[in-house]
Structure 1
Amino acid sequence: MSVETKISNKIFDNCLMNASGAKCMTFEDLSKLKNSESGTWITKSCTISSREGNPSPRYVDLKLGSINSMGLPNLGFQFYLDYVLDEHKLGNDHLFFSIAGLSLEENMEMLNKINSSDFQGWVELNLSCPNIQGKPQTGYDFERTEEVLDKIFSFYSKPLGVKLPPYFDIAHFEIVADILNQYPLQFVTCINSIGNALYIEDESVVIKPKNGFGGIGGAYIKPTALANVRMFYKLLRNDISIIGCGGVETGKDVFEHLLCGASMVQIGTQLMKEDISVFSRLLTELKTIMKAKNYKSLNDFKGKLKEL
């Protein structure tokens, strides 16, 4: 039984990885991910300069998931570039490097530096951070999304994908897919957390930033995540892979993301709750499902969701 998967021309031992917001900020975090059972890992979404992020409490575990308004805390672009270049020297070119500049100019500056570096992995361009005060999500502004990709692909020549916010309207799926299909993207990650939710406990909000409004993750968002994975799998070119993210707590959840068309599956909230042991457990549970259904590889069922 094989749980290998592929994006572009690179093969991964299995389909699991962390989400770019979960336990991947420091060198210690990244080292633990490297030594885990994940198929690969991704760095924290970074900005040019380091950021403290929003005030605490800014992340709270909930019964069915989590709520957060982190505000992009990170150690700055140079730290993560140095990290992935050190991994390159060790022969590891299967890494994902997440960037989330606070402006188009900042993203272009980071991408220019990556483009001229020895980095041989993938960049995940975050178009969907819902928790920067005063900053709208680029992914909901379709003209701006097209402008960003136009300018980036006028010079950027290395493998790149985008992390998308959740969409809720069929027309929006089609509009976004038409835009993305114009560019040499290698993957899309969907979805980021559902932004601007509110959770109340004992007559009070549970996080401090934005008057308690934050991004919801975990089981709350799995149906929305699966819908996004499915629609983009159907609408995007065959050479654009889908990385599913949202609501993955069990091997069944992983199986359903793959069934909808994901090539890889990111773990966020459950990684925060369970730490890196989550990858081993999810792989065991996924293989149990595959064995029961007599599937020998992910290709036996990936993207083959039945319709009534």
Structure 2
Amino acid sequence: MTDLQTSIGDFQFDNVFMNASGVRCYTEEDLDALAQSDAGTFVTKSATQAKRLGNPSPRYARLELGSINSMGLPNEGLDYYLNYALKFQEKHPGQWIFLSVAGLTMEENLAMAHTIEDSDFNGLVEFNLSCPNVPGKPQTGYDFDRTKEVLTNLFTFFTKPAGVKLPPYFDLAQFDQMAAILNQFPLQFVNSINSLGNGLMIDPETDTALIKPKGGFGGIGGAYAKPIALANVRAFSQRLDPKIQLIGTGGVTNGRDAYDLILAGASLVQVGTLLQEERPAVFTRLSRELQAVMQTKGYTNLSDFKGQLKTQ
């Protein structure tokens, strides 16, 4: 039998798959469906302090090889997701979930971090530094000085297990710079990548941008993102302190895609566009397909091949 168990720090998970924040995790009903699926864990919608409606519709569209979206961080607010997480851990001791936050300012991030620090939440916290679809708000993850400032202020008081979600990078010097910053902090994980920011697609029937917000600019997900996700996971796996583990996100359409992210160094694999289209039942198919690839290779555990990518 092939075993899909994995871990982040001291947190153990029965399956390597989970959702990407923002996809089918908006409401309690969404989160319950993830909890009841074959995913090993799940993450809540990236929260702001107050509820946000997000960008106007249409703000999501299917593409031939993925999706384009400009959601604008619609969410029910931190208290909603924190309360859900506290109820979940009370009902399911020993099952760990991720709580994601994405403040629009440093002050908001720090205020939410204080709220979580003062709570009884005992899972993992994701600080999302990579929201590409909020008009007028640049991604923190592309400002290295700002990223270091945020993390420095954060870890003066925050003691719960935490990690960051990053945008995609495209230059080896960017990997070097960001890894040098991240290695200075007690991070449990790095989640890479968020969607490919500010793509544009056109409806050939109407000559109109497919989505409305930001003049049609939006994050690109799905198969389009796989080579970039693999490169980012691989690059950070070679540069980060071994204590910082990787969550690989981007381009998963089948079990082989997940295998490739693990081969590049991921300890968990998130699913976004595919989950949006196929709903949480997709985790059953992906698990079966990943196990089939492992069996073909003669592997029984993820540790048999994680991070073992060969080069010519």
**Structure-2 separation of matches of 1:228 and 1:217:** 15
RMSD, matched Cα: 0.6
Amino acid at match of 1:32: A
- Give the Cα–Cα distance (whole angstroms) in 1 for the partners of residues 299 and 167 of structure 2: 32
Q: Which amino acid aligns with 2:168?
A: P
Cross-structure match for 2:140: 138
How far off is 1:201 after superposition?
A: 1.5
SS of residue matched to 1:178: helix
Counterpart-to-counterpart distance in 1, 2:191 and 2:11: 17
1:129: which partner in 2? 131
Corresponding residue of 2:96 = 94
For 2:208, the aligned partner's letter is S
Q: Deviations over 1:259-303 (max 9, x none)?
A: 000000000000001001110000000000001110010000000
2:79 corresponds in structure 1 to 78
In 2: Cα distance, 1:180 partner to 1:241 partner? 12
1:73 maps to amino acid: P
Please name the residue that 2:14 is paired with. 13
Partners of 1:126 and 1:81 lie apart in 2 by 16
Counterparts of 1:112 and 1:10, CA distance in 2: 22
Could you tell me which runs of 5 or more consecutive residues in structure 1 were left unpaired when the two chains were aligned.
none
Tell me the distance in 2 between the aligned counterparts of 1:42 and 1:157.
19
Residue matched to 2:262: 258
**Matched residue, 2:59:** 58
Task: Report if aligned partners of 1:93, 1:120 keep a CA contact under 8 Å in 2.
Answer: no
1:63 CA drift (Å): 1.1
8 Å contact 1:93–1:119 — kept in the other structure?
Answer: no
Letter in 2 for 1:278: V
- Counterpart of 1:277 (choices 273, 281, 284) is 281
CA displacement, residues 52-104 of structure 1 (integer Å, 9 cap, x when unaligned): 00000000111100000000000011100100011121225511000001111
**Which residue of 1 is the match for residue 106 of structure 2?**
104
Q: Counterpart of 2:46 in structure 1: which amino acid?
A: S
| 3-state secondary structure, aligned to 1:249 | coil
Residues 213-249 of structure 1 deviation map (CA, whole Å, 9 limit, x = unaligned): 0000000010000000000011000000000000000
CA contact (8 A) 1:17 1:264 kept: yes
The residue type paired with residue 218 of structure 1 is: G
TM-score calculated relative to the size of structure 2: 0.98
**What is the CA–CA distance in structure 1 between the aligned matches of 2:239 and 2:15, rounded to whole Å?**
25
Amino acid at match of 1:141: D
1:206 Cα deviation after fit = 0.4
- TM-score, with normalisation over the residues of structure 1? 0.99
Distance 2:127 2:40 in 1: 20
The answer to whether 1:217 aligns with 2:218 is no
Q: How many residues align structurally?
A: 308
Structure 2 distance, partners of 1:97, 1:157, is 15
Instruction: Tell me the residue number matched to 1:41.
Output: 42
Percent of aligned pairs with the same residue?
56
Q: Matches of residues 222-237 of structure 1 in structure 2 within 5 Å? A: 222-237=226-241
1:11: Cα distance to partner? 1.2
SS in 2 for 1:123: strand
1:180-225 CA deviation, whole Å, 9 max, x = no partner? 0000000000000011100011211100000000000000010000
Where 1:257 maps in the other structure, the secondary structure is helix
User: Secondary structure of 2:290's partner?
Assistant: helix
Partner of 2:158: 156
**Counterparts of 2:301 and 2:35, CA distance in 1:** 24
- State whether structure 2 residue 237 is matched by structure 1 residue 196: no
Question: For 2:162 and 2:296, how far apart are their aligned partners in 1?
Answer: 36
1:240 aligns to what?
A: 244
Q: Which 5+ residue runs of structure 2 have no aligned equivalent?
A: none
Equivalent residue, structure 1, for 2:211: 207
2:30 is matched with: 29
